[in-house]
Amino acid sequence: MHRTPLEGLLPDFPWDTIADVKAQAARHPGGIVDLSVGTPVDDVDPSIQLALSEAAATPGYPQTAGTHQLRQAIAGALARRYGVAGVTERCVLPVVGTKEAIAWLPTLLGLRGATVVIPEVAYPTYEVGALIAGCEIVRSDEPVDGASLVFVNSPSNPTGRVCTTDELRRWVEYSRETGAIIASDECYMGLAWSAEPVSLLDPRVTDGDNSGLLAIHSLSKTSNMASYRAGFIAGDEDLVHELLRVRKHAGLMVPGPIQQAMVAALSDDAHQDLQRLIYATRRATLLKALIGAGFAIDYSDAGLYLWARRDGMSGRETLNWLAERGILAAPGDFYGPAGENHVRIALTATDERINAAAQRLQGSQGLNG
């Protein structure tokens, strides 16, 4: 039997390629400050923990579509937090973390062999999902001919760039003209700094018509629920139901206790507001220290990262420069060739580690290299 293992078609897992740099940073006398991955370090809010534990004894299979209560909570949060209109509980679908949803989206939509457009600088899973489905991949921030699916990411991971309403409207017009599906990764919308993100499903973008449009949201960022694997898709009712039917067959169900925890997270905005303030403080500390150490910060208008560069250095050289000071970042080339001169620096470390990084960067001010 002839087969082609998927592993051979996929790129190396990015973080496996910087093991030597991580080891270098770990040798710092003060220990490593790992700012390479956007994984939360702060506790999940007690109300969410309580909802999880109260549902822990539930024995039956969960609903792939999510409970009525969860679907209502998703629709309500989208309207309340992001001004999304016209999304009912029939237009939403919980998923087992948004990385899973993104990775399998081209396959579950039946797009094998089609053309998928991803941003020039992009979260790696867009490319991986297209490769799994045997799709042709085009990196572009502008419409291209013949695309069946376009991934848009605002606020961007890794750059923190925020798309304007007009930019999103152009993608909607492209969808109307070509029939392409637009999937907007909006996982960082709850972390706005110097620009206000707009959802693809905002009526200022869609004029009230969500046909061909999907928005993808995560509870990992402002609710610290990365370990819960909790996210959702919303938008075109027909597409949502298509995904639901396939996901039922595949057994892609969010566990019941997690669904209850999601309801708690989506029904309360106070914990999200508090987490945003925590990240704002860490961001201000790092931003000041990086600029003082000779870094330029591009975009970074929202989200969990600073998109940074040092003049005269490639991203990999900057990665090593930081590692010498015990700081680990992610090289910009993880996210495509256009990112090769940058590094991505995450805000996701404790206050103590963020302050340690700032002190090391401040100690580099005025030094050569």
Element (DSSP H or E) covering residue 99: helix 98-108
Residue 5 has what pLDDT? 63
What pLDDT digit, counting tens, does each position of 187-227 carry?
999 999 999 999 999 999 999 999 999 999 999 999 999 99
Residue 7 has what pLDDT? 59
Single-letter amino acid, residue 353: R
pTM of the predicted model over 0.75: yes
Q: Are 205 and 171 in contact (CB under 8 A)?
A: no
* Ranges of the chain with pLDDT below 70: 1-12, 15, 365-369
Under 8 Å CB-to-CB from 284, ≥6 apart: which residues? none
Residue 17 has what pLDDT? 80
What number of other Cβ atoms are within 10 A of residue 280's Cβ?
14
Single-letter amino acid, residue 172: V
Alpha-helical runs (H) found in 154-295: 165-178, 203-206, 237-250, 256-267, 270-292
> Domains (ranges, CATH) in the chain?
15-43+271-363 (3.90.1150.10), 46-267 (3.40.640.10)
